[in-house]
Amino acid sequence: MAKQVPIEAVFEAIGRVTYPGYAADIATLGIVEQVTPLPDGGFSVMLRQATARDEVMRTVAERVHHALAHDLGIAKVEMRVRRIDPELGEQTGRVRLEGTKYIVAVASGKGGVGKSTVAANLACALAQLGLSVGLLDADIYGPSIPMMFGTADERPKSAGGQNFYPIEKYGVKLISIGYFLGEKAPVIWRGPMVMGAVRQFLKDTLWGTQDFLIVDLPPGTGDAQLTLAQQVAIDGVLIVTTPQDVAVLDAMRAVKMFRQVHCPLLGVVENMSHFECPDCGERDELFGRGGGDTIAMQEGIGVLGRIPIYPELRGAGDDGMPLVIKSPAHPASAAFLELARRVTAAMAPIEAN
């Protein structure tokens, strides 16, 4: 009977494998899609094809195989690479935007976990790294981006025909259903109308050329999310969760949903991970601990960021200025900048084709 190597050790070994020509490891770059234990003590590793150059992917697969078979002594290691058609993007029939290099979706299994806070601060952090960024608020049921950017009273200007210009604030181009409905309008839209609206926002907005479009998805894993994920050619998904058990369960459901429709997962962002007492510096894990790690272990994807609870983060959201803009030196802003760097790094191998 072969001895079972713990999956933690497998993740650790994979975490030491670098991408050819890069100092970064392949897990950080988002190339490891899934690690599955096999019944006979072996492991199956699914990689995402990050480049059109097959020889580079072969080298990556060989390195992972060597790390597991040779270094850890695992008898059976299955390597798989999920192929991506470079012409069509990840999926056929999905909207790709001319002029937009990467579309990154921010999703969550349930509401209130800080998905929009992460989307807003990530967009601002990417802009601070010198990248051109758009932010599409697809959270039709509770559009909070206009408020978070202090732009609730603004209205997108028509550019003739169906097209309109996005609102620009803090170096980020913004579009949201909130700009069209007004703050007090009841959102009674049903699934198909939501889909139509988001598709339209995506295509009819004059985004210009941009490095990233961040999409703040509606929370949950219902038909609306599923359809949306299948309509847009998403280059990577971030799943936001709090460490609470229920949030983690919902986040895992979201992970499974995005897998089902072949959207590449970049990783988990654990928000409200803990509270650090400003007076005594003591850590308090209000919502439990290790939620992100649980998902990482069970679903084989990495934790890309951990954002503690900071009262300033809430305040900045309500003031109409994301914290990354308001207090760039704040530790939470540093955490978002690090997240932005990781997201950028995850896209780099695709660019290097």
Taking CB under 6 A as the binding criterion, the range among 90-98, 166-174, 277-285, 313-321 that sits at the site for ligand ADP is 313-321
Residue 58 binds to ligand ADP (criterion: CB under 6 A): no
Single-letter code of the amino acid located at 254: A
Q: Looking at the chain, list the stretches that DSSP marks H as alpha helix, in order from N- to C-terminal side.
A: 7-15, 54-65, 115-128, 145-148, 177-181, 191-204, 223-231, 245-260, 291-299, 311-318, 323-326, 331-351
Q: Which residues pair with 270 in a beta bridge?
A: 241, 306
Six-digit token pair at 169? Answer: 């604030």
- Among residues 45 and 303, whose Cβ is nearest to ligand ADP? 303
Taking CB under 6 A as the binding criterion, the range among 94-102, 105-113, 156-164, 288-296 that sits at the site for ligand ADP is 105-113
Residues 6+ apart with CB under 8 A from 276: 282, 283, 284, 308
* Closest to 140 in 3D by CA, of 180, 167, 94: 180
266-285 binders of ligand ADP (CB under 6 A): 271-272
CB of 305 to ligand ADP, least distance (A): 11
Evaluate whether 134 touches 166 at the Cβ level (below 8 Å).
yes
113-142 binders of ligand ADP (CB under 6 A): 113-117
- The mark string for 186-225 relative to ligand ADP (x by CB under 6 A, - otherwise) is ---------------------------------x------
CB of 111 to ligand ADP, least distance (A): 4
- Among residues 100 and 117, whose Cβ is nearest to ligand ADP? 117
For residues 52 and 85, give the distance between their C-alpha atoms in angstroms, rounded to a whole number: 8
Evaluate whether 159 touches 165 at the Cβ level (below 8 Å).
yes
Residue 229, CB-side half-sphere exposure with 13 Å CA sphere: 28
Which of 49, 51, 100, 108 touches ligand ADP by CB under 6 A? 108
For residues 84 and 344, give the distance between their C-alpha atoms in angstroms, rounded to a whole number: 19
- Among residues 156 and 317, whose Cβ is nearest to ligand ADP? 317
- The mark string for 142-181 relative to ligand ADP (x by CB under 6 A, - otherwise) is --x-------------------------------------
- The mark string for 75-104 relative to ligand ADP (x by CB under 6 A, - otherwise) is ------------------------------
233-272 binders of ligand ADP (CB under 6 A): 271-272
Q: Rounded to an integer, what is the distance from CA 205 to the centroid of its chain?
A: 22
CB of 210 to ligand ADP, least distance (A): 22
Residue 309 binds to ligand ADP (criterion: CB under 6 A): yes
- Among residues 156 and 219, whose Cβ is nearest to ligand ADP? 219
Which of 6, 99, 112, 222 touches ligand ADP by CB under 6 A? 112
Q: What is the DSSP string of 214-257?
A: EEEPPSSSSHHHHHHHHHB--SEEEEEE-SSHHHHHHHHHHHHH
- Among residues 219 and 292, whose Cβ is nearest to ligand ADP? 219
Number of residues lying near ligand ADP (CB under 6 A): 18
Residue 57, CB-side half-sphere exposure with 13 Å CA sphere: 19
Which residues of the shown chain bind ligand ADP in the complex (CB under 6 A)? 108, 111-117, 144, 219, 271-272, 307, 309-310, 313-314, 317
